Structure 1
Amino acid sequence: MALKGPRRPVRRGIPAQRRRWILWLSFLSLFSFAYVSLFQPHFSFLALHYAWIDKGASINEIEATNLWSKDFLRRTPFSRPPRPNSRKHHVPCKIDFVSSVDSLIEPESYINFTRFSLNYITRDQYSYNNNSINVPLFGGHQTLEEREHSYHARNQMLHCGFVKGDTGSYDSGFELDGKDKKIMANCTVVVSSCIFGNSDFLRRPTKHKMGTYTKMNVCFMMFMDALTLDKLSSEGNIPDKNGKIGLWRVILVKSLPYTDMRKTGKVPKFLSHRLFPSARYSIWFDSKMRLDTDPMLIIEYFLWRKGAEYAISRHYDRSCVWDEVLQNKKLNKYNHTLIDEQFNFYQSDGLVRFNQSDPNIPLPSFVPEGSFIVRAHTPISNLFSCLWFNEVNRFTSRDQLSFAYTFLKLRRLNPDKPFHFNMFMDCERRAVAKLFHHRTQP
């Protein structure tokens, strides 16, 4: 029987569970080091030159030797590219509104504006038996000669929408109920908006932000078509017995003047002085905005305090019409051929690029953000609104393309008749209302 030798010690390996923990810890250590190296340039783990130890080194010198400083990383090929303009974050800014509307009084000096008389063409003189003209147009058949004459700030009769056929038997659109028209005729201060073609949700003004005077004296008018009203009613927004949904009075528009809903929306946007003949002030809000500020505070700040007749914000990103044209084409906002036709016409009539370095430039931007407009219904303010509407009626519904041309031409042809204009910062627009996205169509 063979004898067994001495037992050799058994060499045991690291248990599997322990090996897994070691691997995970190693992985986390490497990951943490990589994260700190690439994404945390201000972390206290610094790779410094020996010059940093020199007690006489300044803060700038120390930062210059810091291989992990933000400035150093920006100069390396591993730095992250800057964010594109489309990712800019736009925020509201603080506005110094008066504390209360109770003591507001219109300044006496405010009424000293250019005076002249405007009358409007209401009957189209063209014969509708002519094969070239089959139906009346809401904006009328304005000739280029009539268009040129209309830019002079003087006593005149001009096209400004609401044109009917010569016999009165033709309907050009935007028909309103007689009861609504009677209420609108008594408004002196108006806040208006519109939704056509079921293009948006109904956003009610923030009621607790409105003062007692405003609730009793300011007209809140929401224009819409039957399609939109039916959709809103199905969502629970049903007008009460007075035709109101919250502060909004619903104004039903029959027989829309354009198949393009965006162009139809320009009627209440630009022609508030036609819709509300007794109004002295009007505020326009796009339906994508919810009013969060008392309208009387808005009028005091944007008009009275600035001595302005017309107030609109600058665009948040663009200031030159050339850039606006390119952006409209890039996003396919309108037919490219029609955009080019309008743009070429304006260039041939003197439209120039925006030049911020020009000391005589009349506006801080040639591109507005037209979702918020504050107006005094003065003669030259009403004239500008008619002229701007006529450009939209003649060309595309992209009113940002025609704004600068209309303003500059009016100013050029009337050098002795000032138009007190306030083109304010976009952050101020964002301060008076909450912005939303339009309803997404299925």
Structure 2
Amino acid sequence: MMAFYRHSSDMLTERRGILGMIFKSLDQSEHGFRVVRRGRRLCRITRQRLSRWVFVLALLFLIYFVVSGVQMLFHDNLEDSISLSQEVQEQLLGYNAPKPPKSKNRRQHSPCEVGLVKSVDNLVEPKDLMKFTQFSLEYIEKEEILPDNYFEPRFGGHQTLPEREKSFYARNQTLHCGFVNGPPGYSSIGFDLNEKDKAYMYTCKVVVSSCIFGSSDFLRRPTRRLISEYSKKNVCFVMFVDEQTLLKLSLEGNTPDDDGYVGLWKIIVVRNLPYKDMRKTGKVPKFLPHRLFPSSRYSIWLDSKMRLQSDPMLIIEYFLWRTKSEYAISNHYDRHCVWEEVLQNKRLNKYNHTAIDEQFTFYQSDGLTKFDPSDPNTPLPSFVPEGSFIVRAHTPMSNLFSCLWFNEVNRFTSRDQLSFAYTYLKLRRMNPTRPFYLNMFKDCERRALTKLFRHRAVPSPPLASLVN
């Protein structure tokens, strides 16, 4: 053993000086050999244990990092961190579809500066808002049937073409605008809400609303630190979901509290959805906030793929009050003519091609023409809206336009970008002395006020099933 140790120490020529002397002295006795061997063994064991602990700690940290992205905490000052964790969750767990490869010809779209005022403290609603066109709108609540004319009730009702034509006049009238029940004895037409939720919605004066049906998206919480205390107390943030989506969100940690809230969102469950097409069902809260919130004065619509990153009252001041408008929507970032939008919808199989052709042919026969950007008298900067972000005052003309646009979606396809320009131009043409103050703003402003995400990856329904 001693010989072996001396032979080994002779090979370690790098040991010099004091350390060499120590090892040499220890080398002179069996006791010294044991000490050295024990020290080496201890060093080797310590390093192994240290490596194991580092590995365990790293693994625990990774598990905590993933779990913290899945679990949603409810403490107010952690909501911004929760939003970040949610994005990490989607990437780590692969919930979203993979990003498509970037096309060399695809334009990049960036936000632009939006001149919001710095605080809500000095905001004052303009007194001249009542100068907008005034008339009285009533809505058909129930359709009666003749004994020989059997039909099943439908959420949008059974509007005839003559009724449709008359509804475009801005005058005192009663028109179809969703929520049309059948006579006694017939089943519900859908979009059923809890009475307690209805009572809450009736109290709302300013509303930010969105919806998720069919578990098509994650829950995007507004960036709380950018929302004023005034808006937190006075603005209703309402997220409509179906029971399937509520279950999915709960499994992801977004379980409503005892008052029905997840962060700022008041979760309202819709039962008995009125359409098989989830996109068409989503048009109910998108177009009819004045029906859902009958006491509201203003509303902001936000698609579920977006997160609000600005104060609602500052948005209303910027897009409506400052421009003296009653309806604001952004133009599309790429397409400006309905002809282009039709081709794109068919190219991507967004809807049944025959249904799109029928709708488009109908609109052309009723005077829809191509968008001409060189025409100085064009009534809109674009005939195609982006549509995911809408700001409106609930004035008679704004409410009428919302009803008319919804009725087109109800009658034809759920692709609302196809019917926007036709609806606006026809309303304008039939009411030359009664203006509708629509503000079509740049899409880059929308991008500055919201953060855009991709939809949750879900299987696409068969194309034929998209025909209502």
For the aligned pair, the TM-score class normalised by the smaller chain equals 0.7 to 0.9
Residues 357 and 207 of structure 1, relative CA distance in 2, 3 Å threshold: same
Greater helix fraction, Structure 1 or Structure 2:
2
CA RMSD of aligned residues (A): 1.3
Alpha-carbon displacement from aligned partner over 1:286-323 (angstroms, at most 9, x marks no partner): 00000000000000000000110000000000000000
**Corresponding residue number in structure 2 for 1:295:** 312
**Corresponding residue number in structure 2 for 1:372:** 389
Q: Residue 169 of structure 2 aligns to a residue in which SS? A: coil
Alpha-carbon displacement from aligned partner over 1:139-196 (angstroms, at most 9, x marks no partner): 0000000000000000000000000112264210001000000000010000000000
Question: Cα distance, 1:112 vs. partner?
Answer: 1.1
Match of 2:301 among 284, 303, 306: 284
**Structure 1 alignment gaps of length 5 or more:** 1-82
**Structure 2 alignment gaps of length 5 or more:** 1-101, 460-468
For 1:86 and 1:429, locate their aligned partners in 2 and report how far apart those are by CA, in whole Å: 23
For 1:245 and 1:120, locate their aligned partners in 2 and report how far apart those are by CA, in whole Å: 33
**Corresponding residue number in structure 1 for 2:79:** none
Q: Residue 259 of structure 1 aligns to a residue in which SS? A: coil
**Structure 2 letter corresponding to 1:396:** T
Aligned length: 358
For 1:338 and 1:254, locate their aligned partners in 2 and report how far apart those are by CA, in whole Å: 28
Identity across matched positions, percent: 69
**Corresponding residue number in structure 2 for 1:190:** 207
For 1:84 and 1:215, locate their aligned partners in 2 and report how far apart those are by CA, in whole Å: 41
Q: Residue 419 of structure 1 aligns to a residue in which SS? A: coil
For 2:434 and 2:426, locate their aligned partners in 1 and report how far apart those are by CA, in whole Å: 13
Q: Does 1:343 align with 2:368?
A: no
Conserved 8 A contact 1:309-1:376:
yes
Match of 1:120 among 123, 139, 146: 139
Residues 380 and 137 of structure 1, relative CA distance in 2, 3 Å threshold: same
Q: Residue 392 of structure 2 aligns to a residue in which SS? A: strand
Alpha-carbon displacement from aligned partner over 1:336-362 (angstroms, at most 9, x marks no partner): 000000000000000000001112110
Match of 2:123 among 95, 99, 104: 104
For 1:312 and 1:351, locate their aligned partners in 2 and report how far apart those are by CA, in whole Å: 20
Q: Does 1:143 align with 2:190?
A: no
**Structure 2 letter corresponding to 1:227:** Q
Residues 298 and 417 of structure 1, relative CA distance in 2, 3 Å threshold: same
Conserved 8 A contact 2:216-2:455:
yes
Q: Does 1:328 align with 2:345?
A: yes
Match of 1:95 among 99, 106, 114: 114
Question: Cα distance, 1:135 vs. partner?
Answer: 1.5
**Structure 1 letter corresponding to 2:141:** T
Conserved 8 A contact 1:263-1:397:
yes
For 1:127 and 1:426, locate their aligned partners in 2 and report how far apart those are by CA, in whole Å: 49
For 2:271 and 2:411, locate their aligned partners in 1 and report how far apart those are by CA, in whole Å: 22
**Structure 1 letter corresponding to 2:116:** F
Q: Residue 403 of structure 2 aligns to a residue in which SS? A: helix
Question: Cα distance, 1:127 vs. partner?
Answer: 4.8
For 2:321 and 2:148, locate their aligned partners in 1 and report how far apart those are by CA, in whole Å: 51
Q: Residue 384 of structure 1 aligns to a residue in which SS? A: helix
Q: Residue 87 of structure 1 aligns to a residue in which SS? A: coil
**Corresponding residue number in structure 1 for 2:266:** 249
Alpha-carbon displacement from aligned partner over 1:183-226 (angstroms, at most 9, x marks no partner): 00010000000000111100000011110100000000000100
Alpha-carbon displacement from aligned partner over 1:239-298 (angstroms, at most 9, x marks no partner): 001100000000100110000000000000000000000000000000000000000000
Residues 155 and 90 of structure 1, relative CA distance in 2, 3 Å threshold: same
**Structure 2 letter corresponding to 1:340:** D
Q: Residue 264 of structure 1 aligns to a residue in which SS? A: helix
Residues 86 and 115 of structure 1, relative CA distance in 2, 3 Å threshold: farther
**Structure 1 letter corresponding to 2:427:** L
For 1:85 and 1:313, locate their aligned partners in 2 and report how far apart those are by CA, in whole Å: 26
Match of 1:388 among 395, 405, 417: 405
Match of 2:251 among 202, 220, 234: 234
For 2:344 and 2:250, locate their aligned partners in 1 and report how far apart those are by CA, in whole Å: 36
Conserved 8 A contact 1:127-1:166:
no
Conserved 8 A contact 1:128-1:136:
no
For 1:266 and 1:300, locate their aligned partners in 2 and report how far apart those are by CA, in whole Å: 25
Conserved 8 A contact 1:310-1:381:
yes
Residues 213 and 255 of structure 1, relative CA distance in 2, 3 Å threshold: same
For 1:143 and 1:251, locate their aligned partners in 2 and report how far apart those are by CA, in whole Å: 33
**Structure 1 letter corresponding to 2:211:** C
Match of 2:426 among 400, 406, 409: 409
Q: TM-score, structure 1 length as denominator?
A: 0.80
For 2:350 and 2:173, locate their aligned partners in 1 and report how far apart those are by CA, in whole Å: 35
Conserved 8 A contact 2:153-2:186:
no
Question: Cα distance, 1:128 vs. partner?
Answer: 8.1
Question: Cα distance, 1:134 vs. partner?
Answer: 3.9
Greater mean deviation of Cα atoms: 247-256 or 160-169: 160-169
For 1:99 and 1:320, locate their aligned partners in 2 and report how far apart those are by CA, in whole Å: 36
**Structure 2 letter corresponding to 1:159:** H
Residues 168 and 431 of structure 1, relative CA distance in 2, 3 Å threshold: farther
Q: Does 1:262 align with 2:279?
A: yes
For 2:338 and 2:417, locate their aligned partners in 1 and report how far apart those are by CA, in whole Å: 8
Q: Does 1:216 align with 2:246?
A: no
For 2:151 and 2:175, locate their aligned partners in 1 and report how far apart those are by CA, in whole Å: 22
Q: TM-score, structure 2 length as denominator?
A: 0.75
Conserved 8 A contact 1:123-1:168:
no
Question: Cα distance, 1:109 vs. partner?
Answer: 1.9
Question: Cα distance, 1:409 vs. partner?
Answer: 0.1
Q: Residue 194 of structure 1 aligns to a residue in which SS? A: strand
**Corresponding residue number in structure 2 for 1:199:** 216
**Structure 1 letter corresponding to 2:108:** H
Q: Residue 180 of structure 2 aligns to a residue in which SS? A: coil
Residues 426 and 381 of structure 1, relative CA distance in 2, 3 Å threshold: same
**Structure 2 letter corresponding to 1:268:** P
**Structure 1 letter corresponding to 2:383:** F
